[in-house]
Structure 1
Amino acid sequence: MVGIQAVFFDQGNVLDNHKESDKALAQALDIPFEDFGRYAQPYVRALHLGLDELEYLNSICKDARKKPTTERIFRKIYDVKRPFNDEMLGINTQLRRLGFKTGIISNAEIPLRDLLAEKYAVTPPLFDTIICSCDVGFAKPDPEIYFLACNVLGIAPKDAVFIDDNAKNVQAFQKLGGYGILHVENRKTIQELSDILGYQLR
């Protein structure tokens, strides 16, 4: 479709599987995985906006009535490698070869931001921009984080597609005039993106 100049990806559960990291967190804190989300949820947004990671984990421990996290355990937790989605990263490469700009818009804490910097520190770069909430002070679905990402690339939201596994985040981008894809599984996302762009991605 004429007019689309860029594609933005969410990181967690689109370009990687952050559930594995959550499982490692739950195990290290001795909290059942099925309960971890309930204890973590009240602090997640603050974490994405720059809350100290050790404070985040100790808040979870306090609510779950577990021993406070030590620095040693904290470092062990964040040494867990996140499995990356090679198929979607391959789609990103195809897009760049076709002349599209690409970027990441992620609600990311500082350890994840650092991991992404390490993973994507290649030449030529895999993405034109990586926007992490912990750096900019805005978190999805706040419109400001989308406007910021678009401004960096010199485009308007209407000129971009955004892929995320959270419906609220997708809808927020669509309200700005952009195209949104709710990511459930790779093949469906790739076909939807192909239909929007008018190119058959593989």
Structure 2
Amino acid sequence: MNQRPHRITTVIFDCGSVITFDQNWEYVRRMAEFFNADPLAFRDVYVRERPEYDRGVLSAMEYWHRVGSHFGVGVSGTEVEKLAELDMKSWFTINPDTLAIIRGLKRQGLQLLVLSNMNEEGKQWMYGPARYCEGIDWIALFDQIILSCDLKLLKPEPQIYEACLSRAGVPASHCIFIDDSEVNVRAAQALGIHAIRFESAEKLLWQLSSLNLPGMNVASAVETMH
């Protein structure tokens, strides 16, 4: 994290591995089985082919066809639907401790945004089956949801952060950005955004509390964490 900010009005969260838990390897193994592939080899291809899918320029069919071509396996429309469902289930388990922090920040009156590299299927899953966690509509806690597939931009490209700041209507120095990727954190810092690399909800709570920002007593605002 860079130096202590003077005034914060906006907190920007990544989604995967921040709002949600890390990818569930049981679903990764099930996707790999479809291609008769070793899970690690499959995951390498899955990640390598991902950027243009998350950018929103590849359809799910095109993405999974590219993945399958590495293993000599074709995919039908029905199979793509099944793979996409496994893919979304692998990512969308909401972290209730992060959610508690988000709710605490919301009660402090801060503007909250999501900035995520996410494909169209992820967007539909987020607004659909994954929208509620323990009865809470977590999407409703955010003022804006900014996704790569809508902007055709990806983190860590500077343009996506600039678009986020424009949507937020605040200067970079008034924002905190939280992401699990060091590359994405450094890209935000290069634009003057105060950034935190997410490791756990517990550590994030400590990092936010240690800033001792006026009117932002995070620890007292957060409910009992799991």
Provide the TM-score with structure 1 as the length reference.
0.90
- 2:185 aligns with 170
Question: Which residue does 1:86 correspond to in 2?
Answer: 96
Who is 1:140 aligned against?
155
Determine the structure 2 residue equivalent to 1:49: 55
Mapped pair 1:27 → 2:33:
yes
Alignment check: 8 A CA contact 1:4 1:197 kept: no
Q: Of residues 4, 8, 11 in structure 1, which corresponds to 2:12?
A: 8
Q: 1:27, 1:83 → 2: CA distance? A: 22
Q: Deviations over 1:40-64 (max 9, x none)?
A: 2332111111111111111111112
The residue type equivalent to 1:44 in the other structure is R
CA distance in 1, matches of 2:78, 2:114: 30
- Shift of the alpha carbon at 1:23? 4.1
2:139 and 2:83 map into 1 onto residues whose CA distance is 31
Q: For 1:71 and 1:32, how far apart are their aligned partners in 2?
A: 23
Show the counterpart of 1:188.
203
Conserved? CA contact 1:129–1:149, under 8 Å? no
Contact 2:178 2:197 in 1 (8 A): yes
Secondary structure at the counterpart of residue 69 of structure 1:
coil
Distance in 1 separating the partners of 2:205 and 2:32: 32
Contact 2:13-2:113 at 8 Å conserved across structures? yes
Percent of paired sites with the same residue: 25
Task: Check conservation: 2:115, 2:147, Cα contact below 8 A.
Answer: yes
SS at match of 1:79: helix
Displacement of 1:31 in angstroms is 2.2
Change (3 A) 1:31 1:146: same
Decide whether the 8 Å contact of 2:60 with 2:84 is kept in 1: no
C-alpha spacing 1:162/1:123, structure 2 compared with 1 (3 Å): closer
**Does the 8 Å CA contact 2:104/2:218 hold for their aligned counterparts?**
no
Deviations 1:15-72 (A, max 9, x none): 113522544432333322111232223321111111111111111111122x212222
Retained in 2: the 8 A contact 1:143–1:172? Answer: yes
Q: Give 1:107's aligned amino acid.
A: N
Moved over 6 A (4+): none
Question: How many residue pairs get matched?
Answer: 201
Judge conservation of contact 1:173–1:180 (CA < 8 Å) in 2. Answer: yes
Where does residue 104 of structure 1 map in the other structure?
114
In the alignment, structure 2 segments of 5+ residues that lack a partner are none
After superposition, the Cα gap between the structure-2 partners of 1:46 and 1:33, relative to the gap in structure 1 and judged at 3 Å, is same
- Report Cα offsets for 1:108-143 as digits up to 9, x if no partner: 011101112224484992211111101101100011
